[in-house]
A = this chain, B = another copy of it.
Amino acid sequence: MTSFKLDDFLPYQLAVLSSRVSDGFSRHYRNAYGISVSEWRVVAHLSQADSVSVREIHQRVDMDKPKVSRAASRLEAAGYVTKTVNPQDRRLVELSLTPKGREMIEALTPIAHRYEEHLSQLLGAEDAQFRTRVSQLIAALGPEIRNED
């Protein structure tokens, strides 16, 4: 009988860890603003540059097109973002934060930073090393046969 311990399997551990970490932080915006993880990612990305197309978010953030599209629609319905057709290229839909959306991200940013602090504290002295390894692994595993579209 070949022995296999799921608990020591790194893919499993990473899935559990990711889920725990994500839940730990999503609690902060789920209750206060009623948005999901997908929606949080879109808003967070919008905070860096206002007016971004759905396509760019799809490429930069780890979400496929329909997911971005639907998250954007929900955010629009909730009043956090606006969707406007780009006049130069009318295929593009530009997303931008409403004042209400900007208010939300500005309230969440310090909370996010505190959560990072918390994680760093848990990681201790090897915090930086750990983050380097994470980035390294992500880069090494590559875009992982993303949809080429």
Interface set of A (CB-CB < 8 Å, partner B): 1-6, 9-25, 37, 41, 44-45, 47-48, 61-62, 105-106, 109-110, 112, 115-116, 119, 122-123, 126, 129-131, 133-138, 140-142, 144
User: Can you list the 3 inter-chain pairs with the closest CB atoms, starting with the nearest?
Assistant: A18-B18, A2-B109, A14-B18
Q: For A102, give the chain B residue with the smallest CB separation.
A: B1
Chain B positions within 8 Å of A134 at CB level: 10, 13-14, 17
Given contacts A9-B116, A10-B116, A21-B10, contact A105 B41 (CB under 8 A): no
Minimum C-beta distance from A98 to chain B (A): 15
Interface residue from B12, B48, B115 paired with A5 (Cβ < 8 Å): B48
Interface residue from B11, B22, B110, B119 paired with A2 (Cβ < 8 Å): B110
A31 to B83, CA, bound (A): 39
Minimum C-beta distance from A57 to chain B (A): 10
A62 to B19, CA, bound (A): 9
